[in-house]
Structure 1
């Protein structure tokens, strides 16, 4: 099908190429809402989200090919930039805002508070990232931005008509993910997990796994190295830590072995992961210290007029005066929100300062890590845990405790998390834009538009899932990060006891893992022991790690024997199919919750037993695996 996706993929698009049009704005905003809603569910269930940039780019190209014959590569890039803003904002919100429910401050999500946190946090993430663009994206050869480069390759492939089957892979994956969710979440024909535990000599031995195609798809996208690390973290906590701690109860009235295993993990072992993440967060801060100084200098030069006023379109950012003006607006809104939470001027001042300082620091950390390992692998949870601990400690030292202290701590965490998520996504998209010849200024404007619209739908989607999707904190929507942040906030506010011994063990373990990873780096080993994925595996339910490992193994077998430089091309269709599975299941879950809200409840056909539902889900998983394996790779000449 001929269209104007015909620019030379090796050259930037010309100045006359259309970039922001009415269709770009409309489609970008719609996809921002869709991607945001989908990732709210994914994050609450899986404890992690995946980048929406590549699926959004393919979806934009597919729709443009169907309806607009004169579309351009830069239009598709701008749609992808706007759409990915919804996904990144969702990650920031779902990791933190549900904690307000879990600590008892809310019984339901407050629309305006969630919207304000999402908008200000997302906007600050964009504003903080702009003066760092040259430092981290343009003038840094160390940072490869694997997902940003892969997304540019997808756009170039679409420009040269090499992407004809990509839309099909995305759609088939979406349909399959949606069908599996309907069979399980609406008709009750598919079980969500298989798990077992036994007690021997007062020791609990547990094993299990979620039977979710979506989690297998997540594993395929993050690849084998990260999947193995998440699984190793799960093994350390669940298969080694739980038996070592012991303490199993038997006899009448004792919980099942599975419930006891979850209790030990929830109250003790996941805090080992917290300690490891704190070490990882400070390690990342140390790694980007020079970039922070350079970014501050760049912003200062922009404010004092030292920059060239006649910049090329492909070099121009939002001007420094606009950054400062919007930043002041965000500060005022944050101060208002903090006072609204606590009605205490002292907490308001301290909380606002902590938000801004930590948000700026973690913008640099997120940008650096996304440049190294990609947006899907960015350890935002670890950064937010560090923010919770620092904020909680400072508020505690200032004698702010009780509910006010908890709410202030969680408010800081929410904003910092949104900043980190959005800034990482921005620099990833700016890298893609630089490779296809897009205007950074226009990309930044589309990011702001995407954040502004996606912020409006976060609270309604959260409310739907909480009231009609199983509830926050349930096994269906475990919200592991939010549960952890709630526990940390309670501990600092004097409402609970934190297992400092476990946090200390985790910190020590984190140092050991950093040393191991440094040794692997020096030996130029292909396998790395990145700290954050291991720590994530410790504080996620073990059932999530098993299917993620399966997905990583599929990706490895899929690309086995191929040169490493060809892996992105070989895995590309599988990634698109996997992205479709994730989006299909997530959007269907939101739709089922929406039906429940208007009185159309899930149906129980009375045809299922435990064995039947387990086997049904196993069949569904095998079908997903088969589709991934059969996904056709891109031609060898893909850039």
Structure 2
């Protein structure tokens, strides 16, 4: 009888340690990127490349060890997204003065662990029985299988990270040699019309655009054009006369200031309405797939009891999952009780705290399923977690309004706290399925990946509060102030705060929100028409809503990055429907983009340290003679774009 071949090592000590280190670094980088641009990127592919290089230096690693590293490291992007989309809203609402360590740890850590647990029953349905594409999971698996020579990939990552870091150091928050954006604005027709053009000069945004592609780039830019080139000029020309408060704000402002004032006070709420409609539509459109996926996952778990299961099919045991669910939920119930008990007018804080916990569990399981499904269709980077969170906050707010009243001083905070846990769970859940898809392709053991992701998620939660406090002290978060005139925008957190506050006694421009809802409905109709025609170009409503809601400067470089990705495909004469070859073609460009993003984000965090220590925003600034015009900044961005295109275009098709 032959001796069975031992399984290759997977969950080794060195793999776990390396995964934790990469997860923490990538979480910090994504926290900065998300607060700055409202977007995060999946980190599995750069983590896989780094893992292969490091383990090779340590004597070599198996493909399954590298898979474990990229699984744990990918938690960095999901935890960062869950945190920065929601928790800064507590600062914006004035509930916190800074980010409280124990609270952030509880929300992010326990939310992430719940995301892992809720996603386990979905693996069999979405990956094995009725598999979804999971594009980033497939791409990560391809990188792992091609891991014999990780050296070129590491060189690309390192070079582009240095470029991204250097440009960030030279920008406004560092040496102030080049500006952060290029903009031209003016009044036309004797001051009766307003025109504005601009683009950000961030290499990271160029990289984000390359990763998400031309389709998404066109959609987000179209949303921005609707806001900045149609809605803002129309509002300035025809409606400022009927809005005395806004007219007073505009008095004496230049064209750029006027455009941003109208956008901030009115037009961006078109994006809020579109996001609300998009979130509801997402849930409605997935109702059948969601129900069948949950039923299939639970049935598979029951069937597996008492049967011998192959190593590649072993999930975390259902019994231990249920025990862990209870253990993780109890601290959240205590946290919710503490929030409600802060209002002395509430008669039964424990009862309401328990009800908040129940809402969180139900919404968490539902939206983890939605997030996993969406990640399977469009990838984790394009997963509209913010839309899911808005739906959660709205539902929680409606229930809490009935219990606490619309004038409750803690109602908005309570709704944000529910949404924060659900957001972390949904982000991690979608990421978990993406990693499990890669593991399924390379023959990994599911329960080991699920455990590694839980470890990675909790490790990231340990550092989120210090990172957020550092960024907040250095740059400011949310609305501009005298101390921080150009803060990190935190667009999703601003949105969550606005929605929650509007439900509890605050004022919102409901007419603009309603118009945005109409726009969202029209976008959905267009997308459904394109779907019926079989068009490869689609118009995801939540991407359009983000474009409407965010400044034009952020959307233009994202579009340009997507255009570069398209030009790379054209140069390689790649068939548009050949997704496997597209993954291989774009791998160098994706790595270069990931390096730009990581380098710029980490430099942003590094710059924050001397700013906070000195208390001066200009502590690193060079003398005025070294400050160059915005045209030089535009030239720098053009050079970075050329390098990105050249790197991507050097790739050869798989069948070359």
In 2, the alpha carbon distance for the partners of 1:155 and 1:635 equals 18
User: Secondary structure in 2 aligned to 1:165?
Assistant: helix
User: Following TM superposition, by how much is the alpha carbon of 1:590 offset from its aligned partner in structure 2, in angstroms?
Assistant: 0.8
- Tell me if structure 1 keeps the 8 A contact 2:584–2:654: no
User: Following TM superposition, by how much is the alpha carbon of 1:390 offset from its aligned partner in structure 2, in angstroms?
Assistant: 1.8
User: Following TM superposition, by how much is the alpha carbon of 1:253 offset from its aligned partner in structure 2, in angstroms?
Assistant: 4.8
Q: Which residue matches 2:260?
A: 262
The match for 1:457 among 459, 463, 487 is: 463
In 2, the alpha carbon distance for the partners of 1:614 and 1:599 equals 27
| 1:81 and 2:71 aligned | yes
Q: Which residue matches 1:620?
A: 636
| 1:16 and 2:7 aligned | yes
Q: Greater shift after overlay, 183-192 or 296-305?
A: 296-305
- Tell me if structure 2 keeps the 8 A contact 1:277–1:386: no
User: Following TM superposition, by how much is the alpha carbon of 1:429 offset from its aligned partner in structure 2, in angstroms?
Assistant: 0.6
The match for 1:586 among 601, 619, 631 is: 601
Q: Greater shift after overlay, 168-177 or 383-392?
A: 383-392
| 1:154 and 2:128 aligned | no
Q: Which residue matches 1:29?
A: 20
Distance verdict in 2 for CA 1:583–1:30, change over 3 Å: same
Distance verdict in 2 for CA 1:410–1:638, change over 3 Å: farther
TM-score by length of 2: 0.90
User: Following TM superposition, by how much is the alpha carbon of 1:357 offset from its aligned partner in structure 2, in angstroms?
Assistant: 1.4
| 1:45 and 2:27 aligned | no
Q: Which residue matches 1:103?
A: 93
Q: Which residue matches 1:56?
A: 47
Q: Which residue matches 2:345?
A: none
Q: Which residue matches 1:563?
A: 575
1:519-538 aligned within 5 A? 519-538=529-548
In 2, the alpha carbon distance for the partners of 1:37 and 1:153 equals 26
User: Following TM superposition, by how much is the alpha carbon of 1:608 offset from its aligned partner in structure 2, in angstroms?
Assistant: 4.7
- Tell me if structure 1 keeps the 8 A contact 2:123–2:297: no
User: Following TM superposition, by how much is the alpha carbon of 1:251 offset from its aligned partner in structure 2, in angstroms?
Assistant: 11
- Tell me if structure 1 keeps the 8 A contact 2:115–2:429: yes
The match for 1:603 among 620, 627, 641 is: 620
| 1:352 and 2:342 aligned | no
In 2, the alpha carbon distance for the partners of 1:86 and 1:173 equals 20
Superimposed CA distance per residue, residues 365-411 of structure 1 (whole angstroms, 9 cap, x where no aligned partner):
11111111111111111111222222222212323443310110111
User: Secondary structure in 1 aligned to 2:197?
Assistant: strand
User: Following TM superposition, by how much is the alpha carbon of 1:250 offset from its aligned partner in structure 2, in angstroms?
Assistant: 8.5
User: Secondary structure in 2 aligned to 1:205?
Assistant: strand
User: Following TM superposition, by how much is the alpha carbon of 1:181 offset from its aligned partner in structure 2, in angstroms?
Assistant: 1.2
1:115-154 aligned within 5 A? 115-141=105-131, 143-154=132-143
Q: Which residue matches 1:407?
A: 413
User: Following TM superposition, by how much is the alpha carbon of 1:236 offset from its aligned partner in structure 2, in angstroms?
Assistant: 0.9
User: Secondary structure in 1 aligned to 2:195?
Assistant: strand
Superimposed CA distance per residue, residues 32-58 of structure 1 (whole angstroms, 9 cap, x where no aligned partner):
100100000000001110110111111
| 1:547 and 2:557 aligned | yes
Q: Greater shift after overlay, 277-286 or 357-366?
A: 277-286
User: Following TM superposition, by how much is the alpha carbon of 1:516 offset from its aligned partner in structure 2, in angstroms?
Assistant: 1.2
| 1:168 and 2:155 aligned | yes
Distance verdict in 2 for CA 1:367–1:605, change over 3 Å: same
User: Following TM superposition, by how much is the alpha carbon of 1:360 offset from its aligned partner in structure 2, in angstroms?
Assistant: 1.2
Distance verdict in 2 for CA 1:503–1:470, change over 3 Å: closer
Structure 1: unaligned runs, 5 residues or longer: 1-13
User: Following TM superposition, by how much is the alpha carbon of 1:241 offset from its aligned partner in structure 2, in angstroms?
Assistant: 0.8
| 1:572 and 2:587 aligned | yes
Q: CA RMSD in A?
A: 2.1
Q: Greater shift after overlay, 239-248 or 121-130?
A: 239-248
User: Following TM superposition, by how much is the alpha carbon of 1:199 offset from its aligned partner in structure 2, in angstroms?
Assistant: 2.9
In 1, the alpha carbon distance for the partners of 2:614 and 2:161 equals 26
In 1, the alpha carbon distance for the partners of 2:253 and 2:530 equals 43
- Tell me if structure 1 keeps the 8 A contact 2:42–2:77: yes
Superimposed CA distance per residue, residues 488-539 of structure 1 (whole angstroms, 9 cap, x where no aligned partner):
1111110x21222222222222222122112111212121111111011011
- Tell me if structure 1 keeps the 8 A contact 2:290–2:370: no
User: Following TM superposition, by how much is the alpha carbon of 1:336 offset from its aligned partner in structure 2, in angstroms?
Assistant: 1.1
User: Secondary structure in 1 aligned to 2:187?
Assistant: strand
In 2, the alpha carbon distance for the partners of 1:510 and 1:627 equals 37
In 2, the alpha carbon distance for the partners of 1:15 and 1:150 equals 28
Distance verdict in 2 for CA 1:638–1:588, change over 3 Å: farther
The match for 2:309 among 308, 311, 323 is: 311
TM-score by length of 1: 0.93
Superimposed CA distance per residue, residues 416-442 of structure 1 (whole angstroms, 9 cap, x where no aligned partner):
111111111111111011011111100
Number of equivalent positions? 620
- Tell me if structure 2 keeps the 8 A contact 1:473–1:479: no
| 1:195 and 2:170 aligned | no
Distance verdict in 2 for CA 1:16–1:304, change over 3 Å: closer
Q: Greater shift after overlay, 321-330 or 465-474?
A: 465-474
User: Following TM superposition, by how much is the alpha carbon of 1:465 offset from its aligned partner in structure 2, in angstroms?
Assistant: 0.4
Distance verdict in 2 for CA 1:302–1:196, change over 3 Å: same
| 1:244 and 2:234 aligned | yes
In 1, the alpha carbon distance for the partners of 2:230 and 2:351 equals 45
- Tell me if structure 2 keeps the 8 A contact 1:285–1:361: no
Q: Greater shift after overlay, 311-320 or 614-623?
A: 614-623
- Tell me if structure 1 keeps the 8 A contact 2:119–2:433: yes
Superimposed CA distance per residue, residues 204-253 of structure 1 (whole angstroms, 9 cap, x where no aligned partner):
32221111111111111100000000001111111111112124548995
Structure 2: unaligned runs, 5 residues or longer: 241-246, 342-348, 481-485
- Tell me if structure 2 keeps the 8 A contact 1:153–1:638: no
